[in-house]
Structures are given as structure tokens and as C-alpha cells.
Amino acid sequence: MPTAEKPWREVALSDTEYASILSLLGRDPTLVELGMFGAMWSEHCGYKHSRPHLRQLPTEAPWVLQGPGENAGAVDIGHGLAAVFKVESHNHPSAVEPYEGAATGVGGIVRDIFTMGARPIAILDGLRFGSLDLARNQYLFSHVVAGIGGYGNCLGIPTVGGDTAFDAKFDGNPIVNAMCVGIIPHDGIVRARASGVGNRIVLIGARTGRDGMHGATFASVEDPEASHRGVIQVGNPFLEKQLMEACLALLQTDAVVAMQDLGAAGLTSSIIECASRGGVGVDIDVTEVPRREEGMSAYEIMLSESQERMVLVCAPEHVPDVVELLGRWSLSAQDIGEITDDGMITIRERDEIACSVPVELFIDACPTYHVAATESVSQRERREAVVEVESGSAASIAEDVLTLLADPNVGSRRPIWEQYDHTILTNTVMGPGAADAAVMRVKGTEGGIAISMDCNSRYCDLDPYNGARLAVAEATRNVACVGARPLGITNCLNMGNPEREPGSWHLQESVRGIADACRELGVPVVSGNVSLYNESGGTAIQPTPMIGCVGSIADVSRAKGLSWQDGDQLTLVRTGEPTLGGSAWLAAIRGSTAGSPPAIDLAIEAQLQDLLQRMAREDGVHAIHDVSLGGIAVTIAECSQVSGSGVAINTPASLASLPRQQLWFGEVASAVLIAASAESAEEIIPACEEVGIMCDTLGTIGGDTIRFPDDSWLSVTQIRSASERALVAPTEAGNLVAN
């Protein structure tokens, strides 16, 4: 609890913000009120710096059933069903205690989904770590992956995809984002809106302890390396499994008016947000809260972030029903207060009032800041740097392919996803490594959903506006590559300090880029999260606006992956020219991050995605793979690795004038490889020409080697060997001592 001369500083409130609270209340706040204001006015809960930017995002479409403002977003996927999804961060906790930080991040996002009444069917992760040359980063990598796998596997929810990268700018400040998707009938969606004066507030699940104190404020300051070990929550996935099943059973009855999980800021945020959405007040007696530790104060109870807890609102006559049903799952349920009509948050400790504040002061009075931001001269010079390519002494195409495949940012992610159970529940049609997006069947129908998670942090570091546009395009394109129609995105904005540059500029430009891309592609933002103050030693991370996308597919049996067939014709379909700016080749071969990322024409990108969805429905089309990290040559190698077959590659005629490194390893927006039968391949060219998209025939699939135009070659065995050794297996890294 705060004890300093300026106690508001200990809950991340500035002097000006504290003065505002004094003015709003007309008195000094109590200690409990101070802690609650600190939590609700934190960046994590109050979105002080991000809210002005987030208003730009398009959030509506005819198929959107729930947009931002609830625990998760929801989109119509047909058959009277909805996909409910969201992504959230657990970066700061994971920097301190990587296993529990990652595990409780998974637990929190899963609760957001079943709180809406949806049954979770898939988890994805977005991870960033510093250089694996450092033992500390290997330790973080190992334990984060173990935490995600440990919690998700115990819950019985498959982890089916994600995005992982490494860069020295993440040294000391990893990024750990978790996304969850659930399925629910339209009429089963539950909102966290408290209503009904006299209705009871019931706390269910785990008992409350002192773990997680000040977690929301901790995530809103730039000090993850300080001694904050006490804020890290400890998760119990088996208890969460009981809680999930009990809540889903409860929501099949008419006993529950509203439901809200206890995440950041614990009981404080859950009751305030429920009350605010419903336009009501609440009155709680903290002595009724079940505790696992003796002597807990009202302050500790209200700010605890103990895991596996939920708040229900139900009519008084239904409280016994709730208690009885929860008992079947060996869970407790305790009536701790009631809904009032006075619009006040009232917290009692028996007869003593610990908090009496209007709901609106916690929500509507939260300050917002708009920090003017511009691109610095050094940033512009790095972005505008011309990438020169060598001539004469350059390595062969095959040699550079092997170098890239062995790079941690490009090679196989098998060591990660082998720790995840990605087939449990038997819904996974295409899981990790098989396709550009995970494909999940929706039982009882022929259809399903496709899910992707993408962001190129290197692009965003060089040009956050264009990098964010490219992230949205890649996430939606990957969904289109398997044959699904993108329906909505969720985003997690991982940035540095928003109070100064470059963090303020990164935030401003990233949101602007997401907004513009979503409008052009017709894909709304239905949920999201912001994680700011991601800095270590005063240096901001690479800005990482992680994009999760969900799309619907009419027939999962027609979903397209990376595996081509002998005799297929390989075609390059693209709308732009490869560039080495910000490329994986430049980073791995030259050790440099410079130049402009690929340009993108979003109008043509939209045409390409429509075309890919149509092509994926053709029986003669066997594989579709997005050209991304490592360019055309690495994309070909990845298909070969999955398929076990090679191809003799021709130089694409439309790119023949480019330098060899740029042609084969330059990265290009809006480009895919399509492997199809000769008959189907003949239909690709006119279909592309009709919408103004270029295409080149690259060769015929067959044999066990890839032969490049410079007469260098690689066997499938060499490709697999290089790719599989790119990452230190997390289980091996876990044997290293953290330092």
C-alpha cells in the first residue's frame, strides 16, 4: 500500500492528476479510493494516451455483432453462430516472471471469451524476445513458451498459431500477446452490463490473495525491471477449467444478468466497468469477499489481481441456484453486494465506508493526452537509406537461402508449437506450420473459421504507418490464402513510452495505419488492447501493433495449405516489386535494419484477397503461400519443406531486370505463390489480368531438389535441416540459468 509522502505517485498518478481528483471529489481521497483511481486512470485501464487515436478505427459492419467496449468482439460466421475473439498483452509480468506471466496472460484472455458466453476453441500467441545470443533472453523465451503451453494444454484449448520474432530491441522487455477465439449462437452472447436495482453481486471462483497487487499500474509505467515480483499473479489452469465449464453452464440458465472476469485491477475494474456500462451504482462489503490470506485490508482486496475469479450479477432469488450450480464444480460463490440506483461506487468494510465515488469519475473523468509527435531526422534518414546490393562476389541463391532458413526470425517454429497441444477438441483442420492461417472446423456445419496473427516489427520500426498497414494486409491476406473471407480484426498495440518520442510517434502512426488499412480492406476492428511503456534502459521496443484476424470459410475440406503436388505449375502472383528495405535478408546477411519497407496498394490488395478466396475453392489449386520474410526464394523453400518435393525455378520474366538479391530475397507486399494443376494454372493468368494483378510462371513441381536460375541447388533434406536448427529448443534453453 502507498506510504510515501506523495502516495499518489506510488499508484502511477501524476501531481496534476491527483490535483484533478481532489477537485472532483472536493476532499482528500481515502486510501482505497486513491488506489482505485490509480488503477482506473492507468494507461492499462484508462487508455489515457491511446483513446484519442483509437477513435479513428472503423468498428462497424453488417456482420459485426459486438464491437469494442465489451470483453471481446463478435462477428457473424453463418449458421446462426458467432466467432468471439480478442487479443491482450502480458508483457510486463512476463519480463519479471516469464512462466507465470505468460500462463496468466492465457488465462485472462480465455476468461474474456467465455465471459461472453462463448466456448473457447483456439489460442494464438504473438511473441517478441531479444537476441538469443543472450542467456537471459533464452531463459525468457523458454519459460514464456512453457507458460503458454502449460496453461493452454491444461485447459484443453488448442494453441494453433501465432507470430514470433527476435531483436535486440526487445532485450529485457519481451512481448507476450495472447489471442483467444470462441464460438457461440447469436442469441447467447452475454454483455457485462450491470442492471436491476437490488440485484446481487456474486463473486465466484478462486479466493482472493495478495498476488497481483498494482498489476494495472505496473503495466503503465516504464519500469519492468524494478522489484515488482509481488505483482505477478500465479495461475491455476485446472481451477480455470472448472470455472469455464461452470460459467458456460450458468449462462444456459436465466440466473445471470451480467458476467465480468476479474483481470487488471481485479475487483475494482470489474465492478466499475459493469456499473458504467449499465448506468447503475454498486455497494460492496469487502468483508464478504472470500480470502486465502489473513488480515487483508480493503485496499488489498479491491486491488488484488488473483486469478480465476469472476463477478456475476443476478436477481436475489437466483443466488441459491448459482451457489448450487457452482458447488457441482467444487467452486465457491459468495454474495458480496448489490446494484444501486445512486450511480455511486460504494465500498464498505462492515460499517466503515472505504470508498464513495460516482462511477463517472473513474471512467468519464479519466484524463486523456494527445502528445504532438513527428518523425525524427535520424528516423527519417534510416528509413530513406538506400540499400546497395553487391555484385560479382555475392553468395549463390542457395547459400543465402540456407543462411536465412537457419536464422531465428525465419526458420521453423516447430520447437515452439511442439509444446502446444494444437489438436485437442478435434476442431483443428490446419494447425501450426501447415498453412498461412489456422483453420478450425465448426462442428455441425461444413464450414469453419480461419485465424491468423501477424506483425513485422522491423517494418514498424522503420515506418510505423506503413508497417501497421502491412500488418493488417498480411493478417487478412493469410486468412484469404486458406480460402476464408476476413471478417474482423483484433489488435494489440505494443509500444514504448507514449509521453515522449519515439513512443508517441509510433503510437500515433501505427493506429493511423491500422485505421486506413481496415477501411480500404473493409475489415472492422472489433476488439483490442494497448500495452505501452515497453522500454528497457530508456530504449523503446520496436513498435509492434500485433494484428489478429478471423475469417469464415464455407467448406473446411477445401482449405488450402502449403503442400504442393508433383506436376503442379508454380505461379508467382504479385502487385508490387520486391525491396530489400527492412528485409530479413538485410538483417541476416548484412546485420542491418534500414530502408523503406515494401509499398502497398490497398485497393489492389483487396482485389488480390478476393481472387485468392475464389482460387482456393478450385480443386486443381493445391497450395497457396503468402510471400513474406525472406522473399520469393525462402517462400519456395518453405513449401518444399512441407511438401517434400522440389522444383526447377525459372527467373520471373517481369522481374528479370532486378539485381539477384533483390529479386529472390526482397520482400514484397501483396504477393503469393500458387501451386496448381496445369489446367488450373492456365486459368490463373487471365483471372489476374482481369483485376490488374501481375503473374509469372516459375516452374513445375517435381523431384527432391530446388534448382535456382544461377545453377545453385538445395535438397529438401538440406532445407529441412537448416530450418529446423534455427531455434534453440525452448526445453534446452530452459536449462540455462537466468542472469
Report DSSP letters for 397-450, one per residue.
HHHHHHHHHTSTTTS--HHHHTTS--SGGG-EEE-TTTSSSEEEE-TTSS-EEE
pLDDT value of position 228: 45
Average pLDDT over residues 459-478: 98
Is 80 exceeded by the pLDDT of residue 220? no
Confidence bin at 172 (pLDDT 50/70/90): confident
Q: Which residue has the cell 453452464?
A: 249
Q: Is 44 a catalytic residue?
A: yes
Confidence bin at 10 (pLDDT 50/70/90): confident
CA distance 275 to 359: 7
Which residues are CB-contacts of 30 (< 8 A; sequence separation ≥ 6)?
354, 355
**Superfamily of segment(s) 13-49+190-363:** PurM-like C-terminal domain (3.90.650.10)
Beta bridge partners of 285: 348
pLDDT value of position 216: 52
The CATH architecture one would assign to domain 560-727 is Alpha-Beta Complex (3.90)
Q: Is 422 a catalytic residue?
A: no
CB contact at 8 A, 321 and 234:
no
Confidence bin at 211 (pLDDT 50/70/90): confident
Name the residue among 83, 211, 99, 109 with its Cα closest to residue 162.
Answer: 109
The cell numbers describing 362, all together, are 473513474
Confidence bin at 710 (pLDDT 50/70/90): very high
Average pLDDT over residues 275-287: 96
pLDDT value of position 1: 58
The sheet carrying 332-340 orders its strands as 258-261, 309-314, 200-205, 332-340, 281-285, 344-349, 352-358
Give the other-Cβ count within 10 Å of 591's Cβ. Answer: 7
Mean pLDDT, the chain, rounded, equals 93
Is 90 exceeded by the pLDDT of residue 569? yes
Average pLDDT over residues 348-369: 96
Is 90 exceeded by the pLDDT of residue 701? yes
Give me the phi and psi of 711, to 5 degrees please.
Answer: 75, 5
pLDDT value of position 426: 96
Average pLDDT over residues 675-701: 94
Which residues are CB-contacts of 214 (< 8 A; sequence separation ≥ 6)?
11, 38, 39, 228, 231, 303
CA distance 280 to 197: 8
Average pLDDT over residues 604-620: 96
Catalytic one of 49, 90, 143, 214: 90
CA distance 375 to 198: 54
Reduce the DSSP state of residue 22 to 3 states and report it: helix
User: How far separated are the first and last CA of the chain, in Å rounded?
Assistant: 30
pTM assigned to the model: 0.95
Sign of CA dihedral 101, 106, 107, 112: positive
Name the residue among 292, 328, 297, 321 with its Cα closest to residue 308.
Answer: 292
Where along the chain do the CATH 3.90.650.10 domains lie?
A: 13-49+190-363, 560-727
CA distance 241 to 14: 40
